[in-house]
Structure 1
Amino acid sequence: MNNKSVSLNSSPPPQDGGSGTVDHELVITSTFGTLLSVVYVLGVSGNVYTLVVMCHSIRFATSMYISIINLALADLLYLSTIPFVVSTYFLKDWYFGDVGCRILLSLDLLTMHASIFTLTVMCTERYLAVTKPLDTVRRSKSYRKALAWGVWLLSLVLTVPMMVMVAQTTKDTPDGGVKRICAPTWAPLVYKVYLTVLFGTSIMAPGLVIGYLYVKLARTYLESQRNSAVSRSGKRSPKQKVLIMIFTIVMVFWACFLPFWVWQLLSLYRTEPLKLASQTHTCINYLVASLTYSNSCINPFLYTLLTKNYREYLKNRHRSFYRYTSSFKQRPPSLYSWGRSASSSNQFEFNSETLAMGTLK
């Protein structure tokens, strides 16, 4: 498949059987194996910490918290495949059976789609919070949880074909031995179509949606802040910082996964095989795999900055709300009662989200 372990196992064997080639292979494998091990330790530690902190606030079920929990969970599941991949790097064989093939490669696709779909939901929620704030406030806790489950269900549906078509097979090695690999069992054309669809669902379609939303948001902010004090001061508002951090997480995702997809699709659509040395081919396989895993290692640091900016954003909203309502206390009772009823739908969100952020301090 397009995946790390299959790319590793299906890479061309060394053309030279001398000790120099073996030494180079060992250096390459040791380097990337060590790198992935470091990524595993850092990524698991960071995402576990993120989950622990976020779960303290899950009872408030704001959309941001639920999305970050989904992202951290997807990263943890993705990182859990590293020990299997590293052991395969060193052993040059697959020892985890047919079930291991299906689970490992399916987890890759499942977590990749869950991450990008969750990021798309986050961008959509922020867009609606700006353009339709009252509708955003009315969304219930059950709606947000159902949306999170829907993201995982859709990701699972896209992953099921991989579970079905991948199986453990064997191939002969130049030295007369037998090597076990994970390989697709479908016809090459069907397999190519399936991978193309996965590229569209994990990169192209979410990219178009997120790009459209951010263009619309940029126009909205330019219009609303053209003559505002925030615009004149040259400082970014907390709400802008939240959107910038979400956009940063999206860009890091693409930077880590796009080279992997380009490398896989290139091998699928080229009419002639790439004329690369064995060590070069292996290095590229290892490099694109390491990039995808590094995304799960970088994300916890971005989540920390995101929640910090989000906490600042909510704190300012909380203060603005009370400045707004306190102004009615100096007006006639009829006007004050109207203002209180008009803003009552927002008060619950401000209070609950601010209390939720208090647990993160």
Structure 2
Amino acid sequence: MELSSSLPPPSPFIPNFSLPSSSPSISPSPSLASTVLFCSLLSLLSLLGILGNIYTLVLLLRRRRGRRRRGLLSRLPVPSCLAGSSSPSSSPSSSSSSSLHLQVLSLALADLLYLFTAPFIVYDSLGSGWAFGEPGCRLLLSLDLLTMHASIFTLTAMSLDRYRAVARPLHASSSSSGLLRVGVSWGLAVALSLPMMITLHLEDGEDQQGRLCVPAWDEQSSKAYLSVLFCTSILGPGLAIGALYATLGRLYWVSQTRPAWASGGGVACPPRAPKPKVLLLILGIVLAFWACFLPFWVWQLLPLYQPDMLRTVPVGTQVTVNRILTGLTYGNSCVNPFFYTLLTGKRKRNWQAPASAKQLCRKSSPDQ
């Protein structure tokens, strides 16, 4: 994100703040028309994204209450003819669905937190200098790193769950293990964003730029920290998710080409073919994340590893590119609710009320 239109380039534009640079300070002075256009588009994206993610949260909470009601109904007396049937609320598929819903809930919450920072960026882009104090500097600007890592770590956990559901279908993830993975994802995200939260502070800008929110470290420390963040948010999860999906592709190929009787080795339950819809939707969310954040990260690392490349680029062009990439990251949170709604769509119900079960017993009775 962009802290302010008056930040000194060509410092790398990590979300919402400016890093120190040895280059001279040059005011970008963007035009008022481009600033208004950027603020309008960012406001529209944040509004659509907030409404979409709130809809996703409401939908998930309603379905969770529905599952609880079905769990209560499953504990009622069941006719003797169906007494041997297992309860759907305790089936592996039900537990896996509950874990998936928890993870989608985590993603929607991360998107909401990220989108709620948009009004502050709009206000700051139209003003001069940081106007939200040092607490706002530390909290608001650290939310970028926090929500970005929480999202990609949760997506990695979702991919791992899908792999386990295919490779070990009888050991589906329970809601408690899903909650643990979500907690670990957010815990790691907090740990990685904590150095930024601690070191951010306000400094007086040059040439009547107002107060700027900057981290208290030198250029080498910034380079090391941003490199670590790139590995933890893009490179590392990308390799892990890529390896999981490559393995899933191999399992899918084997399940389609090898006969069931040829499993051999005494394996009672060979890996089942994955459900293409769930796998493709999770892969779509991951690819959308990379498509929106990878260009942004390239732009952050370019001044650190190739500083000479930006020296010939006009300052106005740098500001324009930064704003486009900032809008792209917000667009990711705006598109995600469509994936979430499809991913947690209603499935065919396998349960019936006790009254319907009694009717089934009467229909199957030999006396009728």
TM-score bucket (shorter structure): 0.7 to 0.9
Q: Distance in 1 between matches of 2:243 and 2:175?
A: 27
Percent of pairs identical after alignment?
A: 47
Aligned to 2:46: 40
Aligned to 2:240: 209
Aligned to 1:186: 217
SS at match of 1:172: coil
Distance 1:54 1:25, change over 3 A: same
Deviation at 1:132, TM superposition (A): 0.8
Q: Distance in 1 between matches of 2:227 and 2:50?
A: 30
Deviation at 1:6, TM superposition (A): 1.9
Structure 2 counterpart of 1:304, from 341, 354, 359: 341
Alignment of 1:49-198 (within 5 A): 49-58=55-64, 62-136=98-172, 139-173=173-207, 177-198=208-229
Aligned to 1:232: none
Aligned residues: 294
Structure 1 counterpart of 2:281, from 233, 245, 256: 245
Q: Give the TM-score taking structure 1 as reference length.
A: 0.76
Question: Which has the larger helix fraction?
Answer: 1
Instruction: Specify the code of the residue in structure 2 equivalent to 1:285.
Output: N
Deviation at 1:49, TM superposition (A): 0.6
Aligned to 1:294: 331
Structure 2 counterpart of 1:4, from 5, 9, 15: 15
> Cα deviation per residue 1:209-256 (whole Å; 9 max; x = unaligned)?
00000000001111112378xxxxxxxx88111101100000000000
Maintained 8 Å contact 1:114/1:152: yes
Maintained 8 Å contact 1:75/1:296: yes
Alignment of 1:17-32 (within 5 A): 25-32=31-38
Distance 1:55 1:12, change over 3 A: farther
Deviation at 1:7, TM superposition (A): 4.8
Deviation at 1:8, TM superposition (A): 11
Aligned to 1:322: none
Bigger shift: residues 70-79 or 177-186: 177-186
> Cα deviation per residue 1:141-182 (whole Å; 9 max; x = unaligned)?
322212211111111011100111111111212xxx242111
Q: Distance in 1 between matches of 2:14 and 2:205?
A: 18
> Cα deviation per residue 1:29-53 (whole Å; 9 max; x = unaligned)?
1111000000111000000010011
Aligned to 1:19: none
Deviation at 1:305, TM superposition (A): 1.7
Structure 1 counterpart of 2:292, from 256, 267, 270: 256
Q: Distance in 2 between matches of 1:192 and 1:97?
A: 26
RMSD: 2.4
Q: Distance in 2 between matches of 1:111 and 1:117?
A: 10
Q: Distance in 1 between matches of 2:111 and 2:18?
A: 21
Return 5+ residue gaps in structure 1 as ranges: 15-21, 229-236, 320-361
Return 5+ residue gaps in structure 2 as ranges: 1-11, 68-94, 260-272, 352-368
Aligned to 1:357: none
Q: Post-superposition, which runs of at least 4 consecutive aligned residues in structure 1 deviate over 6 A? A: 8-11
Alignment of 1:336-347 (within 5 A): none
Q: Distance in 1 between matches of 2:239 and 2:197?
A: 28
Aligned to 1:200: 231
Instruction: Specify the code of the residue in structure 2 equivalent to 1:209.
Output: A
Q: Distance in 2 between matches of 1:223 and 1:207?
A: 24
> Cα deviation per residue 1:241-292 (whole Å; 9 max; x = unaligned)?
1101100000000000011100000012224343222221110111111011
1:13 maps onto 2:49 in alignment: no
Bigger shift: residues 66-75 or 266-275: 266-275
> Cα deviation per residue 1:198-219 (whole Å; 9 max; x = unaligned)?
0000000000000000000001
Deviation at 1:4, TM superposition (A): 3.4
Structure 1 counterpart of 2:254, from 205, 219, 223: 223
Maintained 8 Å contact 1:29/1:90: yes
Instruction: Specify the code of the residue in structure 2 equivalent to 1:43.
Output: G
Maintained 8 Å contact 2:56/2:337: yes
Instruction: Specify the code of the residue in structure 2 equivalent to 1:204.
Output: L
Maintained 8 Å contact 2:18/2:214: no
Maintained 8 Å contact 1:112/1:202: yes
Maintained 8 Å contact 1:33/1:86: yes
